[in-house]
Amino acid sequence: MTKEIKRIGVLTSGGDAPGMNACIRAVVRTAIYNDIEVFGIKYGYEGLIDNNMCRMESKSVAHIIQRGGTILKTARSEAFRTKEGREKAYENIKKNNIDALIVIGGDGTFTGAEIFSNEHNIPIVGAPGTIDNDLYGTDFTIGYDTAINTVIEAVDKIRDTAASHSRLFFIEVMGRDAGFIALRSGIAVGAEAILIPETKTYINELIEHLENGRRKNKTSGIIIVAEGEEEGGAFEIAKKVKERFNYYDTRVSILGHLQRGGSPSCMDRVLASTLGYESVNALIAGKTKVMIGQVNKDITHTPFKKAIKHTVEIDIKMLEMSYILSI
């Protein structure tokens, strides 16, 4: 029989994402509704090792649904990568009589959860909190919608100055291993080109595309570049293009961590609330080592291994569409 869950711990790990607070709120209040105590763990897995945790009440999560970041703080824990560190974390879990964990984060978070659960047989359920939208088993991750809308708002403003000064802007967005932010935001801002890690960048083709735009009297342009793009990011691409195509005044803008912050969008608040609520329900139902996701509006339970190792493929048709719409 599945052990009854009486007390759970919740943590956020890895990079912060808008909507994490909404997810924490949903976890805390759903657990309390089901007569389960909740302990908030500060600074992710590092908090487990340091025994940095406290009991949370319904009022602990009042007025946080609209806030970006995470009230539980987050960190990347090198100590948790070691067996000794995980052993210490488990000792603190036992000391606080915690029966199960809910972890909010991305692939690194779930990798650690999988190992920890296997070693110490503690039930763990995950909610996908990452702006990259690169986890298998959910249409969207918590924070992605807010991040791309932040990019759109910033690029729209840059477009104004680009048009005023006849400039070509290379704008770098987050996406070290995946181009989902670049692709969707690039289409939304009408970018002249979108460069992502999943496809090879051909400088000759990019210059030819820009030349075609110049011949059609385009007086400015926006190129969206994912930070993990193979040619080295926005600065390197801009340098290579400028050497052979100097019709426009060229500028580079790195949006950086601006994309992580800000009040979460309606979509992220609802998604995060739903996934937090369903994470508690999954633990009650005896689920473990699964990520809670939403696919075609249906709630899914994807094993951690599958969520992090099954590569989410980019939609090439969207990339083709962006090229056609930019001519």
* pLDDT tens-digit series, residues 109-152: 999 999 999 999 999 999 999 999 999 999 999 999 999 999 99
| Mean pLDDT lowest among 124-128, 164-168, 294-298, 304-308 | 164-168
- Please say whether the dihedral angle defined by the alpha carbons of residues 185, 187, 189 and 193, taken in this order, is positive or negative: positive
Closest C-alpha among 315, 268, 295 to residue 23: 268
The arithmetic mean of pLDDT across residues 95-117, rounded, is 96
**Domains of the chain in sequence order:** 7-143+264-309 (3.40.50.450), 146-260 (3.40.50.460)
The arithmetic mean of pLDDT across residues 305-313, rounded, is 84
Read off the pLDDT of residues 53-70 as tens digits, 9 standing for 90 and up.
999 999 999 999 999 999
Location of structure tokens 């181009």: 179
- Annotated active-site positions, please? 132
Say which residue, 50 or 209, is predicted with more confidence. Answer: 50
| Residue 215, CB-side half-sphere exposure with 13 Å CA sphere | 7
Query: Which pLDDT belongs to residue 1?
Result: 38
Query: Which pLDDT belongs to residue 2?
Result: 57
- Contact call for residues 194 and 187 (beta carbons, < 8 A): yes
Say which residue, 316 or 44, is predicted with more confidence. Answer: 44
Burial of 217: CB neighbours in 10 Å, binned 0-12, 13-18, 19+: exposed
The arithmetic mean of pLDDT across residues 4-12, rounded, is 96
Q: How far is CA 306 from CA 113, 121, 135, in A?
A: 13, 19, 9
- Contact call for residues 104 and 129 (beta carbons, < 8 A): yes
Read off the pLDDT of residues 228-273 as tens digits, 9 standing for 90 and up.
888 888 999 999 988 888 888 899 999 999 999 999 999 999 999 9
| List of residues 6+ apart from 36 with CB closer than 8 A | 5, 6, 7, 8, 280, 284
Query: Which pLDDT belongs to residue 232?
Result: 84
The arithmetic mean of pLDDT across residues 277-302, rounded, is 97
d(CA 327, CA 323): 7
Query: Which pLDDT belongs to residue 313?
Result: 82
The arithmetic mean of pLDDT across residues 203-226, rounded, is 87
The arithmetic mean of pLDDT across residues 172-182, rounded, is 91
